[in-house]
Amino acid sequence: MTTQVNANRALLAHFTLKLADGSTAESSLISGKPALFRFGDGSLSAELEQQLIGLAVGDKVQFTLPAQAAFGLQNPDLIQFFSHQDFHSTGVPEVGTIMLFNAIDGSELPGLVREVTAQSITVDFNHPLAGQAVSFDIEVLEIDPQQEPSDANTVS
């Protein structure tokens, strides 16, 4: 077992994400299931990986990533407008509803209903935390854990 986090490794950790106003956006402590961070596969930003490299089991760190290094900036191209007819099978959604849409490649893509008018329904496909700096509190539990994938949340 490796004693420190290096590139191309995995890290099992509890984490809490906080927004600039101090509110908690997400925490593995709530579910009691630690998160699995995989290095070198492109699922983590380079800036996040840099903050975690060199950590050892038992380390607790706090750091803040700017929006572009966390969940990216808001992309106006990811805000789409639909007609009411597009929702004939589900009914017109309420503002704030998160719905799954089918992407061209067949995968599912979550979208947040931002606005409903008589003419259209506005859906935002940006990550809900896009455009926001995020503070991380991380506690390293294991490095290169040997476990079943269902035993942890995977961070991507």
Cα separation, 153 vs 125, in Å, equals: 22
Overall average pLDDT of the 102-123 stretch: 93
4 found inside a domain:
no
Per-residue confidence (pLDDT) for residue 155, from 0 to 100: 54
Dist CA 58 CA 145 (whole Å): 14
Same domain, 65 and 134: yes
- pLDDT tens, 48-95? 999 999 999 999 999 999 999 999 999 999 999 999 999 999 899 999
Q: Do 100 and 83 share a structural domain? A: yes
Which CA distances in Å does 153 have to 38, 129, 149? 11, 18, 8
Say if residue 67 is in the same domain as residue 34: yes
Question: Between residues 75 and 146, which one has the greater pLDDT?
Answer: 75
For residue 91, give its domain range.
76-124
**% of the chain residues with pLDDT over 70:** 92
* Calpha distance 47→64 (Å, rounded): 10
Give the amino acid at 156.
Answer: S
pLDDT digits 0-9 by tens, 12-31: 999 999 999 999 999 999 98
One domain for residues 68 and 133: yes
